[in-house]
Amino acid sequence: MIRKLTENDRSNVLNYLYQDSSYNIFIIGDIEAFGFNKEWQTLYGEFNEENEYISTLLFYREHAIFYSHLDEFNHEFLEIFRLHNFEYMSGRDILMELINPFLPDFIFKPMLFCKAQEIETTINPSSFKVQTVKTEEDCSKLYDLLVEIDEFGIKKQSRKKYIEGKMNSIQMGITLYIEENNKIVSTVATTAETTKSAMVVAVATIPEYRKKGYASVLMISLMKEYFENRHKELCLFYDNPKAGKIYKKLGFKDIGKWVMTSKKD
């Protein structure tokens, strides 16, 4: 049986999702931050005959995330797909391989998934001024950086829409940056922060400011904040081997694979 979940399901669905908290960080974070009564967020649950969870499907704005502890996909979810206008879908690689044939208009991008619980480096970031995004002006400067990097797809958003979305999600994580000449040149952020972990996203440096150690300094500052002050682990995805080497030097370890999909233009 598949049904839409409500606030009454909060405790049970979180118990299910926390059994695999790293893979479910986005779903957990969205539930804890926004609950079940937002018009732009809907969560479905699939149950077996004993009324135990088999899988979940989250729609958050234009994003969808599917999870199951089993390597199975119930085709009844396809009817639910048709009810939602989503541009992106992601999930464990094995599950997304099962869904792949039903999303012919989507591009599939495999990623490696890793996490860290401690820092494994002697680099000292104290010589750099690391700041935190707090205001709309900060978000506007951040937009100027990200719009220069094609892989983030920020060009599809207006400055106003980006700033609005960033300010609305600011409670779900933190965004750090290094600035030169009143311009943000390097940044790293977290999102989907839960009671136990957070997801590292948007690690970016303007091309002409790369190879100066900015990204490593920001990552170390982020890790110190989460490990020493918030007592939470960090997760991230990557598909760039060079980036992977940097993350592993800092203490991240591969734990699995993830697939992100996006609708073709």
**pLDDT, tens only, 198-224:** 999 999 999 999 988 899 899 999 999
Q: What is the pTM of this model?
A: 0.85
Burial 168-192 (b: 16+ CB within 10 A, else e): ebbebbbbbbbbeeeebbbbbbbbb
Q: How far apart are CA 218 and CA 188, in angstroms?
A: 6
In CATH terms, is domain 116-257 a member of 3.40.630.30? yes
Q: How far apart are CA 124 and CA 127, in angstroms?
A: 7
CA angle 220, 204, 131 (to 5 degrees): 55
From-to residues of CATH 3.40.630.30 in the chain:
2-104, 116-257
The type of residue at 179 is: E
149 exposed, middle or buried (CB, 10 Å; 0-12, 13-18, 19+)?
A: middle
pLDDT tens by residue, 145-187: 999 887 777 877 899 999 998 998 888 899 999 999 999 999 9
Report strand pairing: 106-116 vs 63-68: unpaired
Beta bridge partners of 115: 235, 253
Q: Identify the architecture of domain 2-104 in CATH.
A: 3-Layer(aba) Sandwich (3.40)
